[in-house]
């Protein structure tokens, strides 16, 4: 049906999408990459930590002999701002099946001094070289069909400040984890959603680094509000995601002493657990 | 009852124990620490990764303005050997409530070349400065009483090679997770145990870095055998542990592509979740 076909919106592809353009780095010299951090991935008053991790992850993928982040650990030092930034990368060890690298993102302050924003340590490999053996006991999150889930565009913006990132993402939250948006948080530290990029670009290992930090904070469902700054975020990419929407579940089991962990699982359309992450974040106790 | 009292074995204390002596570093110059890695913490053919993390964590605690590891991420590069090693530490950022540091452990190969064994990125703070607020939904692991659990001394050594570390640790495994030792692994990726140091030293934030990597691999209960080398291990220390034995549960939910994650929770005698960790490890698929 040519009509139907021509009625299809043009879907962005891996390599030609907002996400790819906004994570693109220019190699100034070996180990030094320039980038202009996009304002399109800001939320409240900050550049999204997952977008920043994807930028650092991409820089490492272009530096190391292996291209896929198997385990990437980021420690967030100071709040990044949209605008020029420099990523410095180092090869720590180049092995046969795994290589390890380090990267740091810097920006200049008002006085022109370089300030380090994030430091990352990561082990890279080749996901396509892994055996197919899968013995996962984890179950995909139970999510209602996408048309029974809700996104930011379905209601008033639940947070003050910028929500630019919501225009770049397709997020459809499970109504069971939406109490906070209706003023009735469940008290359970859970957030579940369908996830994709708004322009239709399919997921790849780099966009998984964005996905694990893209949902509203579980703290909202615990009755807390405001910014939940990430101290440290580690992501394990376990498989190359199949095309189609992702399902993400984020769980917090231990809110204590003003800190909480957020454990994220990302499942692809083929029911494969493609990424696991954990972050330590700081909360303002109400 | 003086008899009973005098019959008590002398318990080691924090600061004066095998663990403290074997993690002690000598400051050669600012940022350069010498240590002789003890052979007492080897298992199979390797120095235990938790002991090594404790060494690096101690070096960072002696370098940074804050002493407690809040989040410490280690990437394991090459296998460490007992004997001389050098730990190099750097202050990445010194903040008011959190500081971030980096550390690397080096040893010399046969040709006298320095080889990096482990690189660590960590954020430190002061556990005693945290508010008491606890809203944990996590439950302590259900463990039988200690006298109904079993340690290495209760049976033949289940692994080939060195088991020196078992003399330094008090580990009493839940019989429900001991099938592997009897040739009947449960197929569930779970390991649960009571844990302490054999000389009776109480736990502190540093010994928690050892605790999270001290149990037999969950891979054994999944029917796999042999060495399960850690690629990356991140530990969140969430509270200063109370005196007395710890309870540890380790869970693997995703064994795929020759890798698995091990999630550990450490609970203290006051039913407080004192540490959470996750590691990515490589397995030999049977």
pLDDT per residue over A246-265, tens digit each?
999 999 999 999 999 999 99
Residues of A in contact with B122 (CB under 8 A): 75
Give yes or no for A285 touching B (CB within 8 A). yes
Give yes or no for B254 touching A (CB within 8 A). yes
Residues of A in contact with B93 (CB under 8 A): 77-78, 116
* pLDDT band at residue A136 under the 50/70/90 scheme: confident
B61 has pLDDT over 60: yes
Residues of B in contact with A238 (CB under 8 A): 254, 256-257, 259
Mean pLDDT value across residues B245-261: 97
pLDDT at B157: 54
pLDDT at B4: 47
Separation CA A248–CA A256 (nearest Å): 24
B121, A103 Cβ separation under 8 angstroms: no
> Is residue B236 in a domain?
yes
Alpha helices in chain A (DSSP H): 2-7, 18-22, 49-61, 205-211, 218-221
B59 has pLDDT over 80: yes
Mean pLDDT value across residues A135-141: 91
Test the B interface: residue of A236, A260, A277, A285 with most B CBs within 10 Å: A236
pLDDT at A9: 72
Test the A interface: residue of B53, B135, B271, B285 with most A CBs within 10 Å: B135
> Is residue A204 in a domain?
yes
A272 has pLDDT over 70: yes
Q: What does chain A come to in residues?
A: 286
CB contact under 8 A, B138 and A234: no
Interface of A with B in 186-205 (CB under 8 A): 188-189
DSSP letter for A258, please: T
Per residue in A38-92, pLDDT tens?
A: 999 998 778 999 999 999 999 999 999 999 999 999 999 999 999 999 999 999 9
* pLDDT band at residue B2 under the 50/70/90 scheme: very low
A153 has pLDDT over 80: no
pTM: 0.95
More confident residue, B5 or A127: A127
> Is residue A138 in a domain?
no
Q: Which of A259-263, B65-69, B90-94, B166-170 has the lowest mean pLDDT?
A: B166-170
B280, B259 Cβ separation under 8 angstroms: yes
B100 has pLDDT over 50: yes
DSSP letter for A13, please: B
Give yes or no for A163 touching B (CB within 8 A). no
* pLDDT band at residue B8 under the 50/70/90 scheme: low
B33 has pLDDT over 70: yes
- Assign residue A223 the CATH number of its domain: 2.40.160.210
More confident residue, B43 or B216: B216
Separation CA A183–CA A181 (nearest Å): 6
pLDDT at B210: 98
pLDDT at A163: 81
Mean pLDDT value across residues B25-45: 94
> Is residue A46 in a domain?
yes
- The DSSP bridge pattern shows strands B259-267 and B255-256 to be antiparallel
CA distance B9 to chain A (A): 36
pLDDT at A4: 47
A36, A84 Cβ separation under 8 angstroms: yes
> Is residue A133 in a domain?
no
* pLDDT band at residue B258 under the 50/70/90 scheme: very high
Separation CA A37–CA A86 (nearest Å): 10
Q: Say how many C-beta atoms besides its own lie within 10 A of residue B160's C-beta.
A: 11
Per residue in A215-244, pLDDT tens?
A: 999 999 999 988 899 999 999 999 999 999
User: At B149, is the secondary structure helix, strand, or coil?
Assistant: coil
A3 has pLDDT over 50: no
* pLDDT band at residue A160 under the 50/70/90 scheme: low
> Is residue A9 in a domain?
no
pLDDT at B46: 86
Mean pLDDT value across residues B204-220: 96
* pLDDT band at residue A284 under the 50/70/90 scheme: confident
- The total domain count for chain B is 1
Mean pLDDT value across residues B19-48: 95
B99 has pLDDT over 90: yes
Per residue in A91-119, pLDDT tens?
A: 999 999 999 999 999 999 999 999 999 99
Residue indicated by tokens 């600061």: B15
- The nearest alpha carbon in chain A to B103 belongs to A121
User: At B114, is the secondary structure helix, strand, or coil?
Assistant: strand
* pLDDT band at residue A7 under the 50/70/90 scheme: low
Separation CA B24–CA A167 (nearest Å): 53
pLDDT at B1: 42
Which two structure tokens, joined as six digits, stand for A95? 């092995």
Minimum-distance CB partner of A73 among B70, B232, B258:
B232
Half-sphere exposure of A115 (CA within 13 A, CB side): 16
The DSSP code sequence of B19-73 is: HHHHT--EEEETTEEEEEE-GGGEEBTEE-HHHHHHHHHHHHHTTSS--EEEEEE
CB contact under 8 A, A256 and B75: no
pLDDT at B10: 86
> Is residue B212 in a domain?
yes
Average pLDDT, chain B: 93
pLDDT at A156: 60
Q: Residues near B95 by Cβ (< 8 Å), separated by ≥ 6?
A: none
Q: Which domain holds residue A230?
A: 18-126+143-282
> Is residue A135 in a domain?
no
Of B255, B251, B248, nearest to B274 (Cα)?
B248
Interface of A with B in 66-125 (CB under 8 A): 70-71, 73, 75, 77-78, 92-93, 98, 100, 102, 116, 119-123
- Provide the strand spans (E) within chain B: 26-29, 32-37, 42-43, 46-47, 68-76, 83-94, 99-108, 114-125, 169-173, 190-197, 230-237, 246-251, 255-256, 259-267, 273-282
Query: Any long-range contacts for A5-10 (C-beta under 8 Å, 24+ apart)?
Result: A9/A200, A10/A200
Per residue in B126-138, pLDDT tens?
A: 999 999 889 888 9
């Amino acid at each position: 049906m040519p009509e139907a076909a021509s009625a299809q919106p043009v879907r962005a592809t891996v390599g030609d999408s907002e996400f790819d353009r906004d994570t693109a780095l220019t190699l100034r010299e070996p180990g030094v990459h320039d980038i202009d951090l996009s304002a399109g991935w800001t939320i409240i008053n900050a550049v999204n930590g997952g977008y920043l991790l994807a930028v650092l992850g991409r820089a490492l993928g272009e530096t190391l002999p292996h291209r896929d982040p198997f385990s990437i650990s980021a420690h967030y030092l100071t709040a990044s701002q949209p605008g020029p930034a420099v990523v410095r990368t180092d090869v720590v060890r180049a092995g046969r099946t795994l290589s390890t690298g380090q990267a740091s993102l810097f920006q200049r302050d008002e006085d022109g001094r370089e300030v380090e924003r994030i430091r990352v340590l990561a082990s890279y490999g080749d996901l396509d070289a892994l055996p197919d053996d899968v013995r996962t006991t984890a179950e995909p999150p139970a999510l209602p069909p996408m048309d029974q889930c809700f996104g930011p565009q379905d209601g008033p913006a639940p947070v003050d400040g910028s929500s630019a990132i919501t225009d770049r993402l397709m997020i459809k939250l499970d109504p069971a984890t939406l109490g906070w948006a209706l003023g009735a948080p469940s008290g359970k530290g859970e957030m579940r959603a369908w996830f994709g990029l708004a322009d239709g670009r399919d997921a790849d290992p780099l966009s998984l680094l964005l996905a694990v930090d893209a949902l509203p904070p579980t703290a909202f469902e615990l009755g807390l509000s405001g910014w939940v700054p990430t101290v440290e975020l580690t992501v394990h990419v376990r498989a190359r995601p199949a095309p189609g929407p992702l399902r993400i579940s984020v769980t917090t089991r231990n809110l204590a002493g003003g800190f909480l962990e957020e454990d994220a699982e990302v499942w692809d359309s083929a029911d494969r657990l493609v990424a696991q992450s954990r972050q330590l974040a700081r909360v303002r106790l109400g």
